[in-house]
Structure 1
Amino acid sequence: MTQTPVEDRLLKAIIPHVPFDGWSEAAYRAAIAESEVSDTVARALYPRGAVDLALAYHRRGDSAMIARINETDLSAMRFRDRIAFAVRARLEAVDDKELVRRGMTLFSLPNHAPDGARAVWGTVDAIWTALGDSSDDVNWYTKRATLSAVYSATVLYWLGDQSADNHATWEFLDRRIDNVMQIEKLKAQARDNPVLSKLMAGPNMVLSRLRAPKPPSGFPGRWRPEDTDN
């Protein structure tokens, strides 16, 4: 998602404060003062203050990841390596691990946990979409749920990784993807088993009716802060 100049100014202004104050109201107030954006405009853009700015920072990382995927020739890679590349690209888009660590602290709070879960889901959805996933059934959900688990575990490992160039994290990521590939292999074997196929006929019939959500349409345009003086 492309940010407007005003949004970018606020985000840049809060980043130096986050390692010390977290994604907090104090950091948000400092960002408003230093960016010289009026409080009215800032609140219109980010009604919940630092929480919304933390989510904007996360989306900026997603955009950087997508750009890197799109500019890289992945044709020679196995698909599991493309996924690993995408997750690595997402983590390498982070300016400072402390920004993510503070974000995880924020989104571990019960009132903000749904926002954190949606942010992770948005990241893995962006990965699958950028890699050309065209599934429109239950696989749309299972692919994203599985990658959400892999991505979340890798982020936690990465935050504590002190190895050179995060080498240990990339090995950890490869192992997690290998685990998923083994599960997929077992699922394929189960589908080919006539006994298990009969037992799963009912559940599979229900699951076959699931469809990927459609993007919203028909909504009015958004307010553009660049049309104001501040």
Structure 2
Amino acid sequence: MSAPAISRPASVAAMRRILRPARLPKRPVPANSPSCRSLYSTAPATRPITPNSVSLCSQPTRAHFPRSHLQPTTRSYHSHDHPPPPGPFTPDESALLSAAYKRVPEHGFTQEALALGARDAGLLEISPAVFPGDGVFALIRWHLYTQRTALSHKVDEVAAGTPGGPAGVAERVERLTWERLRGNEAIVGRWQEALAIMAQPSHIPSSLGELAQLADDILYLAGDVSVDPSWYTKRASLSAIYAAAELFQTTDTSPGFRETRAFLRRRLDEAAQAGAAVRSVGQWVGFSAGAVVNVLRSKGVRI
């Protein structure tokens, strides 16, 4: 028994009519619609327009977008005219880390200190697990951040004059760097453990960023206003000096870390002398090069 024949359209036009998608009926739009009414119409809208009700028929305005998309939340420079950016920790994280930090002298930068800090803050002991990464490194960053920001409260004390006159920039840099080293006093016995954690490949970028920020803050608070290439060399040199002094501090047993401060002063003096030597050499090279060019020009060489 043969299969029934399948009817086919008689023409291409009939085929197109079959394949053409069905059109939905158009929805009538009220004449007084607030989104599509004429720009010159003065008729009142039938419903209020909220900042989130963006119409496809109207141009978006500034009020349609959240303010967080219009202004950056952080800045990478110092300014007297604007407040500092918010810290890297939320209020809940600050409460936990502040409590855990008090346990560091006894338990070190460990998960145990974090768990005890959570219990002291009235939180669950699993709370440290909410940190997006290593909770122990977050505890280290808490120490770095709080000690660095505390320097701004010591500027007046550091800038106080001496019998020889007001403190210069170099002297204020030395005093501020020493104040920051003194901030390690409570946890210095555990700081070698922290340095080992900071040296892990996954933590090196953040650790170096904190060190660079510290050098920048110290020079800024000391009144350094250089805008030439020395801006970079000063911060690189101070970062290296502070890192060396901090490592020296972990093995210093002298009263009040007296040897650490002497070490710091020697390194800063050496950096100042080296910088002066480099500037002298650069000036000499520039003068010599200019003299050579003038001699060649006097001989007819086109330079």
- Does 2:109 align with 1:18? no
C-alpha separation in 1, matches of 2:220 and 2:238: 13
Q: 1:196, CA displacement in angstroms?
A: 7.9
Residue type at the aligned position of 1:149:
A
Letter in 2 for 1:15: Y
TM-score of the superposed pair, with normalisation by structure 1: 0.74
The question of 1:138 aligning with 2:229 is answered yes
Partner of 2:200: helix, strand, or coil? coil
Larger mean Cα displacement after TM superposition, 105-114 or 128-137: 128-137
Selected match of 1:29 from 112, 115, 134: 115
Distance of 2:142 and 2:254 partners within structure 1: 29
Q: Return the alpha-carbon distance in structure 2 between the equivalents of residues 142 and 198 of structure 1.
A: 24
Query: Which residues of structure 1 form unaligned runs of 5+?
Result: 200-230
State the distance in 1 between where 2:278 and 2:101 align: 44
Gaps of 5+ in 2: 1-85, 291-303
Q: Does residue 182 of structure 2 align to residue 92 of structure 1?
A: yes
- Aligned to 1:134, the other structure's residue is in SS state coil
Separation (CA, whole Å) in 2 of partners of 1:196 and 1:15: 56
3-state DSSP class of the match of 1:96?
Answer: helix
Report 1 or 2 for greater relative contact order, CA contacts < 8 Å, sequence distance ≥ 6. 1
Deviation at 1:116, TM superposition (A): 1.6
Larger mean Cα displacement after TM superposition, 116-125 or 62-71:
62-71
RMSD of Structure 2 on Structure 1 (CA): 2.8
8 A contact 1:23–1:106 mirrored in 2: no
Query: 1:139 deviation in Å?
Result: 2.1
The answer to whether the Cα contact below 8 Å between 1:15 and 1:99 also exists between their aligned partners in 2 is no
Aligned length: 199
Taking structure 1 as reference, are residues 195 and 62 closer, same or farther at Cα in structure 2, changes over 3 Å only?
closer
| TM-score after normalising by structure 2 | 0.58
Larger fraction in helix? 1
Alignment match, 1:210: none
Paired residues of 1:14 and 1:30 also in contact (CA < 8 A): yes
Q: Pick the structure with greater CA Rg.
A: 2
2: distance between equivalents of 1:117 and 1:197?
A: 39
Q: Secondary structure at the match of 2:112?
A: helix
Find 2:195's aligned residue among 82, 104, 121. 104
8 A Cα contact 1:21 1:27, kept in partner: yes
1:151 and 2:237 correspond: no
